[in-house]
Amino acid sequence: MKLSKRLELVLSFVKPVETAADIGTDHAYVPVELVRRGTAKHAVAADVRKGPLLRAKESIASAGLEHAIDTRLSDGLAGFLAGEAGAVVIAGMGGELLLHIMEQGRHMWDTVTQWILSPQSELYKVRKWLPANGFAIEKEGMVSEDGKYYTVMSVVRAGTVHDGCEADRGAGCTDTETIWNHAEGTGHEPDINAGCRDAGTDRLQAGNLRRREEEFYYGRYLIEAKDPVLLAYLREERGTLTRLKETLERQAQSSRRAVERLAAVEKMLCYNQEVEDEML
């Protein structure tokens, strides 16, 4: 089976486990390959809709793995019991939905040994939510495919990370909607000077806050690893942000909303440049 680069990255992150669950399974490509490759002895392919489950059953039957993979109609993790799965894959959906599923699965937090998460949007929110709820990102990867960037992370309960990474180690990308949300102060850390370098007596504190924000957006793990895909993303993002900045500068003369957006874009340009400088 020829899989996308994104799914191959997801599969490569899963550690050997007795039972793995794939939430939002669609065609069940992930559970089929986990069992076929021997990463999981058993798997559960779950989806909230009957249509995808029918496709999943076809894929499972085609692979001759009906004895090892079950399908389950479930709204996220609501249809699972604690201890049913040692690894849970949640990939291919927006960050808000992913966090909803995580919240919904609180009864499984302490029995799942590994969570493989790949949100397709709102990565900043996911990055902030994880340490706030006792999770640590132990590993991350990033791929580019068909003009899009995808981040995959291996997440465990804080205190169980073995490679020395901190509980808030993260990776993430941003999008225009996220920039606007943070310009309005939605779910944001204390405001930081929009300039790339801070001045005054609070310089160190402001610099530390800015650094933390940069890591929530782009990820300490990927930054420290000097990940080449993240570097390519930074350069592409800078071009997008620069064009937005030029447009907003023209609009700012007559629109307060444009002024707010311009400040957010300028801040993101600073974050972007500082992270790239560190990686080079």
pLDDT tens by residue, 219-232: 989 999 999 999 99
DSSP percent split of the chain into helix, strand, coil, nearest 5: 45, 20, 35
Taking only Cα atoms into account, the Rg of the chain, rounded to an integer number of angstroms, comes to 20
**Which pLDDT score is estimated for 164?**
42
**Which pLDDT score is estimated for 15?**
98
The domain locations on the chain are: 5-120, 176-279
**Which pLDDT score is estimated for 188?**
42
Strands (DSSP E) contained in 13-166 are 17-23, 40-47, 69-73, 87-93, 114-119, 135-145, 148-157
For residues 77-105, give the mean pLDDT. 97
Q: What is the pLDDT of residues 132-144, one digit of tens each?
A: 999 999 999 999 9
10 Å Cβ neighbour count for 204? 9
Residues 70, 44: Cα–Cα separation, whole Å:
5
For residues 226-247, give the mean pLDDT. 97
**Which pLDDT score is estimated for 177?**
47
User: Which of 183, 157, 204 lies closest to 266, judged by CA?
Assistant: 183
For residues 182-200, give the mean pLDDT. 46
Phi, psi of 136 (to 5 degrees): -130, 140
> Tokens representing 108?
């499984």
151, β-bridge pairs: 142
SS3 144: strand
SS3 217: helix
> Tokens representing 113?
């040994």
Please report, rounded to a whole number, the percentage of residues in the chain having pLDDT higher than 90: 78
Buried b (16+ CB within 10 A) or exposed e, 237-259: beeebeebeeebeeebeeeeebe
CATH of domain 5-120: 3.40.50.150
SS3 7: helix
Residue 163 has pLDDT above 90, yes or no: no
**Which pLDDT score is estimated for 249?**
96
Give the model's confidence band at 160: pLDDT under 50 very low, under 70 low, under 90 confident, else very high. Answer: confident
